[in-house]
Amino acid sequence: MEVQQIIEWADGLVLIQTGKHLDDLETAILQGTYQNQKYSEIAAGYNCSEPHAKKVAYLLWKTLSQASGEEINKSNLRSTCQRLQLPALSNSEEFVTIDTVTQTNSPPPQGETTTQPYNTESFRRIDRTDIPNGDYFCDRQEEVATLKNWILQDRSHLVSILGLSGIGKTAVALHLLPQIQDHFDCVIWRSLRTLPSLSSILTYLTQFLPPPNPDIRPLTISYASTVAEAQNPSHQLAEQLSLVMESFRQHRCLLILDDVQAILNPHNLVGGYKPGYESYRLFFKTIGELSHNSCLIMNSSILPQELIELTNNNHRVKCLTLAGLGSDSAHNILTSASLLDADNWQELIDIYGGNPGFLKIVSRTIKEFFGGSVKQYLANNSILVLPEIKHILDYFWQQLSDLEKQVMGRLSASDSGVSMADLLENTNHNSSDLLWAVQSLQKRFLVDNIQREQQTLFTLIPVIREYTRQCR
């Protein structure tokens, strides 16, 4: 019954926020609101005065708003619950609650520091709400095998899939998912493209994940002792995080966060996050560093600084940077686009760095304007930065500092790559600033490096080289 689900959801939020369950009047207010009753009717049904019911309702809406990170009131309760897609409320086909199964999970491997009994009975649920539709063919077998190994064998806590926009991060995660999902009690896919606050993500998780069993391990949540403390956002967040981590310990959950770059501050790759999203750092660090049985996969086209630190210090944190597609896979894209002139395909693939997203854009253009002939498209020897690709690169270009743009300019002047020594020779900037700029470009996956004759050379793929030349 829908109203019962709203009450359970609200009860969970109030519990997180105040340490207490809903009382009878609060429950009556939720029921009455659900049935479109006026406060006077709710009060009459509960046998109290209307002002008293209003006062209690005011505090209830405030608590729910703070706990959920959403503005909740009498007039939007139903629509907000619908929009938040409470697990049991959603009728969407996309939201699948798979059967309740009894399963015995494999025990944690040696070295797992957790001490609580491992969960033997769990119900498996998958939230597919944010999983993109579309043609996501992918045969990155090696990459998928590596990820599978990290997640299932090594039981990594935090795995990131990184690379330039269009390189196939979402495609790889989508391809991986069916191969690993049966090893988890719960699977949730969320995109951060719409900039959800960490609080709203944690609230959702506390609703969706099986609740931690206090008999297995007493929760370490410290309930607020004063109203002021309960209303302190960092206290609330810590409580939410603690609940989620307890579920992550007692169950094997898989959380996939796509488009993580959306919450990062693109102008300050070390500082990290957009204002208001800094708490994600704590979330990622907690998942990476604490002992638990779950896994977070995060996709990003910008490398967050703390991921480098976590990866260096912790064998449970792994990063996979996707390179362009190998020749066979890239050929498959051009074959399925029914392009002509197979002898010229490798040249086309090289120009676009084997980026499947770029190759798909180019294939459409070649079909539409050149009758499918790759030869004609390449005929005048100039590299076309098509509008859709320019649009993607513009987004990254506008995030660059002046020095980063200068370095890009210098790299774009060479087809074979530039060494650090060369860069230093031709600049007025000091070496640490320059090193910093090159590192920053690498964290954005705009610059590649190759090893040649005991030298590291920095290069741009031809289409980015051409774009940069045009920007200068």
Residue in the shown chain whose Cβ atom is closest to Mg ion: 170
Query: Of residues 217, 360, 367, 410, which one binds ligand ATP by CB under 6 A?
Result: 360
**Residue 142 contacts ligand ATP per CB under 6 A:** no
User: Considering the complex, what minimum distance in angstroms separates the CB of residue 170 from ligand ATP?
Assistant: 3
Sign of torsion, CA 281 282 284 290?
A: positive
Please state the closest distance from residue 31 (CB atom) to Mg ion, in A: 42
| Nearest partner of 293 among 340, 252, 232, judged by Cα | 252
User: Closest approach of Cβ 325 to Mg ion, in Å?
Assistant: 15
Taken as a whole, the chain contains a residue count of 472
Stretch that binds Mg ion, among 63-71, 169-177, 306-314, 450-458 (CB under 5 A): 169-177
Q: Measured at CB, which residue is nearest to ligand ATP?
A: 168
Q: Is 294 in the site for Mg ion (CB under 5 A)?
A: no
165 binds ligand ATP per the rule CB under 6 A:
yes
Contact 418, 458 (CB under 8 A): yes
Question: In what side-by-side order are the strands of the sheet with 418-419?
Answer: 418-419, 455-459, 448-452
Q: Give the tokens for residue 117.
A: 């009994």
Please name every residue paired with 160 in a beta bridge, in sequence order, or none if there are none.
298, 319
β-partners of residue 255 are 188, 296
Applying CB under 6 A, does 99 fall inside the site for ligand ATP?
no
CA–CA gap between residue 411 and residue 466 (Å, rounded) = 11
Q: Which is nearer to ligand ATP, 248 or 358 (CB)?
A: 358
Instruction: Report what 177 binds from ligand ATP, Mg ion, none; CB cut-off 5-8 Å by kind.
Output: none
Least gap, CB of 69 to ligand ATP (angstroms):
24
Question: Where is 441: in which H helix or E strand?
Answer: helix 431-443
Which C-beta is closer to Mg ion: that of 169 or that of 249?
169
* Nearest CA among 164, 155, 184, 162 for reference residue 288: 155
Instruction: Decide if residue 410 touches ligand ATP (CB under 6 A).
Output: no
168 near ligand ATP, rule: CB under 6 A? yes
Under 8 Å between Cβ of 318 and 150 = yes
When asked if residue 241 is in the footprint of ligand ATP (CB under 6 A), the reply is no
Q: How far is the CB of 40 from ligand ATP (least distance, A)?
A: 51
Q: Characterize the bridge pairing of strands 158-162 and 317-321.
A: parallel
Rounded Cα–Cα distance for residues 393 and 375 (Å): 25
DSSP per residue, 375-437:
HHHHTT-PPP--HHHHHHHHHHHTT--HHHHHHHHHHHT-SS-EEHHHHHHT-SS-HHHHHHH
Q: Is 125 in the site for ligand ATP (CB under 6 A)?
A: no
Beta carbon nearer to Mg ion, 157 or 169 = 169
The correct pick among 72, 131, 138, 434 for binding ligand ATP (CB under 6 A) is 138
In the shown chain, the binding pattern of residues 285 to 324 toward ligand ATP, with x for contact by CB under 6 A and - for none, equals: ----------------x-----------------------
Which residues are near ligand ATP by CB under 6 A? 135-140, 163, 165-171, 259, 301, 325, 329, 333, 356-357, 360
Which residues are near Mg ion by CB under 5 A? 169-170
